[in-house]
Amino acid sequence: MKVLKERILKDGKCFPGGILKVDNFINHQMDPILMKSMAVEFVRRFAGTKINKILTVEASGIAPAIMVGYLLELPVVFAKKRQPSTMENMLVTEVFSFTKNTTYTVCVSKDYLLPGDKVLFIDDFLANGNAGLGMIDLVNQAGAEMVGMGFLIEKAFQSGGNKLRQQGVHVESLAIIESLDDCQIKLR
């Protein structure tokens, strides 16, 4: 998506270890106009797909997910990274984060992910794909169906894209980073 790629080149910053910092418009300060444009693009790319629920994971996925939910007039559920003590009836999975080198628990209430739901997952980054695999696990546990996964930015030099596409899921990424070698942003 042209406007996102241009913004990444203008405001994105490379950090050692293949990290792209987009704090200026996605991960800290957020640009709602760009967020809306990206949501419109997701709606276009998943136009042929029957969806009744948007799923994301806190924190950074929430903003793009709610924009998509707003446009499609569908409920948006965010998976929680800590199991609330007051919440019963939970679906739970474990996700390993390579970037942060920790394993965390992700959970969703069975009240909000139902058998037969046709789920579109939206998130900011696709890196190693473990968060995405965890979401597929939660959707399967619920007896729902993951009909699509949309990411703002995919890092093609990490294995997440292959892992998720191998699951047979329709994956769309609005900008694909080929490499961040030598702190140069190379886009596909």
The residues that touch ligand G4P, with contacts defined as CB under 6 A, are 19-22, 27, 57, 59-61, 97-100, 124-131, 155, 160
Looking at the Cβ atoms of 53 and 155, the one nearer to ligand G4P is: 155
Distance between CA atoms of residues 46 and 41, nearest Å: 9
Query: What is the smallest separation between the CB atom of 112 and ligand G4P, expressed in angstroms?
Result: 19
Looking at the Cβ atoms of 29 and 143, the one nearer to ligand G4P is: 29
Helix (H, G, I), strand (E, B) or coil at 152: strand
**Sign of the four-CA dihedral 81, 85, 91, 94:** positive
Query: What is the smallest separation between the CB atom of 155 and ligand G4P, expressed in angstroms?
Result: 6
Query: What is the smallest separation between the CB atom of 21 and ligand G4P, expressed in angstroms?
Result: 6
Question: 18 exposed, middle or buried (CB, 10 Å; 0-12, 13-18, 19+)?
Answer: middle
Looking at the Cβ atoms of 46 and 78, the one nearer to ligand G4P is: 78
Looking at the Cβ atoms of 22 and 113, the one nearer to ligand G4P is: 22
Distance between CA atoms of residues 52 and 56, nearest Å: 14
Looking at the Cβ atoms of 25 and 46, the one nearer to ligand G4P is: 25
Distance between CA atoms of residues 181 and 132, nearest Å: 25
Query: What is the smallest separation between the CB atom of 78 and ligand G4P, expressed in angstroms?
Result: 10
Query: What is the smallest separation between the CB atom of 137 and ligand G4P, expressed in angstroms?
Result: 13
Which run of H or of E encompasses 171?
Answer: strand 171-179
Question: 94 exposed, middle or buried (CB, 10 Å; 0-12, 13-18, 19+)?
Answer: exposed
